[in-house]
Amino acid sequence: MEANFSGPLGLTSLTAEPDASGVQVGSSYTYMTARDWLRVGQFWLDAWHDRTDILPEGWQREATQPSTSNWQGNYGLSFWLNTEGSQFPSLPKSMFNAGGNAGQRVMVFPDQELVIVRLGLSQSGVDQGVELFSRQVLDSLER
């Protein structure tokens, strides 16, 4: 992981733990500072625009297309999509995100060249606040 991921991205706080059965699960049990999560989000943004050599060209765009196994069409290959009926209706449809436990989120806005990281333990309903904050940031960029 160091040679192919955390090293090239300059991550300094990555801790990846296996689950209870000893399996490393790529979508869970990964801990980093907000700054390192931002680096990961920037990597996904750069990959979406084919500005990285770490992933094959086009991979990130493919990963942010609705998976055929997801009947709701709001999940790609490890990323939540902002498609019709998703939880962030006021945000751009091109936004994709990695959602973590209790409202933790890395949101990537490819058309706006923006990454928003939200960490911290939250009660249910936090997504409404995340959407409002994100909308305010986007609106401020348009001014």
* Predicted pLDDT at 42: 98
* Predicted pLDDT at 125: 62
pTM here is 0.91
* Predicted pLDDT at 48: 96
**Tokens 């869970």 belong to residue:** 28
Where in the chain are the domains?
2-142
The whole-angstrom separation of Cα 116 and Cα 72 is 24
* Predicted pLDDT at 103: 80
* Predicted pLDDT at 2: 83
Q: Of 83, 125, 130, 84, nearest to 107 (Cα)? A: 130
CATH of 2-142, one of 3.40.50.300, 3.40.710.10, 3.40.50.1820, 3.90.280.10: 3.40.710.10
Show the CA angle centred on residue 107, arms to residues 30 and 68, nearest 5°.
Answer: 85
Structure confidence by residue, pLDDT tens digits, 58-94: 999 999 999 988 778 899 998 999 998 888 999 999 9
* Predicted pLDDT at 126: 65
Structure confidence by residue, pLDDT tens digits, 5-52: 999 999 999 999 998 999 988 778 899 999 999 999 999 999 999 999
* Predicted pLDDT at 101: 80
pLDDT exceeds cutoff 80 at 124: no
* Predicted pLDDT at 102: 78
Residue 138 near residue 114, CB atoms below 8 Å: yes
User: 42 vs 2, which has greater pLDDT?
Assistant: 42
Residue 66 near residue 73, CB atoms below 8 Å: yes
The whole-angstrom separation of Cα 94 and Cα 12 is 29
How far is C-alpha 60 from the geometric centre of its chain's CA atoms?
11
The whole-angstrom separation of Cα 57 and Cα 130 is 31
Res. 120 pLDDT band, cuts 50 70 90: confident
